[in-house]
Each structure stands twice: as structure tokens, then as C-alpha cells.
Amino acid sequence: MPDARRPAVRGLKAHLPHKLCQHCQRPMAWRKAWARCWDEVRHCSERCKREARATSSPPRAP
């Protein structure tokens, strides 16, 4: 039986904000680590961030 003093956590994640990753277009949910910079988050992972930079930047001249 759940403890009456502690609210159930079930279902709270559905109410978190979501965004689409600018690189892979997958939905990503708000994370506690992004609490201070949620408006600035554009990519779901370091991999997407790295790949987006590689495809958007022009090749370097030798």
C-alpha cells in the first residue's frame, strides 16, 4: 500500500514540457538538468549537437 503522506509519482511525467530536437526531430521531455536553460536547449543529446555542427558548418580550407 502506498504511504498516505507521500503523493504518488505516477503520471507526473506526462505533464512535463516537450520539444522536438532540431537535428533528429525526436521529441524530448524536460529534464531536471535542463531546468535553468530549458529555453536554450535545442538538441536531445551530445551526439545530435555534434552532428548538427558537422552538417551545418562549411568545410575548413587547408
Could you tell me the residue range of the domain that residue 50 belongs to? 16-55
Quote the pLDDT of residue 14: 75
Residue 20 φ then ψ, to 5° = -100, 140
In a domain, 10, yes or no: no
Quote the pLDDT of residue 6: 54
In a domain, 2, yes or no: no
In a domain, 50, yes or no: yes
Quote the pLDDT of residue 5: 63
Enter the pTM of the model. 0.63
Quote the pLDDT of residue 43: 94
Question: Structural domain tally of the chain?
Answer: 1
In a domain, 11, yes or no: no
Q: Which has the closest alpha carbon to 44: 61, 25, 57?
A: 25
Quote the pLDDT of residue 15: 83
Low-confidence ranges of the chain (pLDDT < 50): none
In a domain, 60, yes or no: no
23: number of Cβ within 10 Å: 19
Quote the pLDDT of residue 36: 93
In a domain, 27, yes or no: yes
